[in-house]
Structures are given as C-alpha cells and as structure tokens.
C-alpha cells in the first residue's frame, strides 16, 4: 500500500471515465459512469449516487480480493476492458488497496482514475485521521461497517481461521486495539463490533465517520475536467 494516486486525472480525459474504446474516442457524456467498486464500498457508493442523483452504475468486485490484493488489478482490468468495449465510461471505486501501484498502472493504460488513498480506510475515515491512529498505536486493527457485518465470512473463513483457529495468534497476536470507523452506526452493528473485540480480547474504540468522506471522494472521481491531486 505504498502508492499515491497516479491515475490519469479527469482533465486528461473527456469526462469522468476512460477513453480506451476500439476507435479511440470517448463515450458520450450522457452515458452513465460504470464504477468498478471494491465490494466493501459498493453499497455506500450505490446509496450515495442514488441520493445525489448521479448517473452511476456500480459494478462490485468481491471484497475477499483484499485477502489476495495481487488479484485486484487483473480482476479490475478485465472488467474495465469489458465495460469500455461496450462503450461505457469507467472509473475505479478503489484506493490502492494493497495493489502496490498496480491500479495506478491500470489507470495509466486505460485512461481511468481512482479514489485517492492507500486503502479503503483512508477513503472512509480520512487519510489524516487513519495515519494518526496508526502513529498513536501501530497495533491497531481497523473495522468498517462492511467488516463488522461480514467478519465471520470475509475474515475468519477467508483466512481459514474457522477451520484452523490455532492460527489466530499468527494473524492477530500483534494487535493492541480495535477501532471501528462507523459510517452508519446501529445497535446491531455495535453489538457485532463488540463481539469481534471480545474475540480479540482487546478494547474497542468507535469513531463515527459517516459517509461524507467517501461522498467527497466519489464526487471528485466523477467530476469532469478537475485534476485529482495526490494525497499529502
């Protein structure tokens, strides 16, 4: 997760999407933007777009790809090329997300752009806030609403801990606290988050971040003719 956002800016395209069609032209402006979104963000992206009346079609990739981030780039590229060939405008609803620059390289090849940040936590919680959390306690395990909802499936089963619980210390033994970046806090999610913290045997801190950060980033992603500066 070392890359900043080096994707083509909207100013380098003719709209909020790529230009890599067969004839080299860009799709017309009335075509909705196909946002290839991280599965952990897709629900929020869809809700924000609907609330604002933005012409967006969300194409989620499995959130489980975060367990194998080397596969994010190839999966995103395959879908992006398919959508571009169909005359769609395309943007990536991903931060770098552990691709180590692969998504930036994809953006450069296809004339796309992505969400700024090293990972989804930056988009949801704000890069400065997340950086401060890790500076204060490097052993911080971050939760999002999606992770709280899907922890058993995406984390325990995804890492094989349901079948091999003896591996828990290898994966999580170095953590010292859990921080939930709560976008839409509810009693159900709060109970789930507390249960996860108990399974770690660690304290839980809840930070209510809302969806404003993601909404601002999504607006920037979709904006026409505005460069997306790299994060500080």
Render pLDDT for 161-212 as a digit per residue (tens, 0 to 9).
999 999 999 999 999 999 999 999 999 999 999 999 999 999 999 999 999 9
Q: Above pLDDT 70, what percent of the chain?
A: 83
Please state the domain extents for the chain: 10-118+212-222, 127-208
Q: Output the pTM of the full model.
A: 0.77
31 pLDDT above the threshold of 70: no
Which CATH number is 10-118+212-222's, of 3.40.50, 1.25.40, 3.90.930, 1.10.3470?
A: 3.40.50
Confidence of residue 30 (pLDDT cuts 50, 70, 90): low
Mean pLDDT along residues 99-116: 89
Q: Which residues are within 8 A (CB) of 123 and not within 5 positions of it... i.e. 6 or more apart? A: 41, 95, 115, 116, 117, 213, 214, 217
């Amino acid at each position: 997760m070392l890359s900043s956002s080096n994707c083509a800016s909207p100013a380098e395209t003719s709209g909020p999407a790529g230009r890599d069609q067969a004839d080299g032209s860009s799709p017309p402006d009335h075509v909705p933007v196909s946002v290839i979104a991280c599965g952990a963000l897709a629900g929020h992206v869809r809700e924000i777009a609907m609330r604002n009346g933005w012409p967006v079609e969300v194409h989620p990739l499995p959130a489980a790809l975060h367990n194998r981030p080397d596969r994010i780039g190839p999966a995103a590229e395959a879908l992006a090329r398919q959508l571009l060939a169909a005359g769609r405008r395309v943007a990536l609803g991903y931060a770098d997300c552990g691709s180590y620059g692969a998504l930036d390289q994809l953006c450069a090849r296809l004339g796309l752009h992505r969400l700024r940040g090293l990972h989804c936590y930056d988009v949801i919680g704000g890069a400065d806030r997340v950086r401060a959390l890790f500076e204060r306690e490097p052993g911080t395990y971050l939760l999002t609403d999606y992770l709280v909802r899907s922890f058993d499936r995406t984390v325990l089963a995804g890492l094989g801990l349901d079948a091999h619980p003896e591996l828990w210390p290898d994966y999580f033994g170095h953590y010292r606290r859990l921080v939930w970046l709560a976008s839409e806090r509810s009693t159900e999610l709060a109970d789930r988050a507390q249960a996860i913290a108990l399974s770690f045997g660690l304290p839980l801190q809840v930070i209510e971040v809302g969806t404003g950060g993601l909404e601002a980033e999504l607006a920037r992603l979709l904006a026409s003719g505005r460069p997306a500066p790299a994060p500080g």
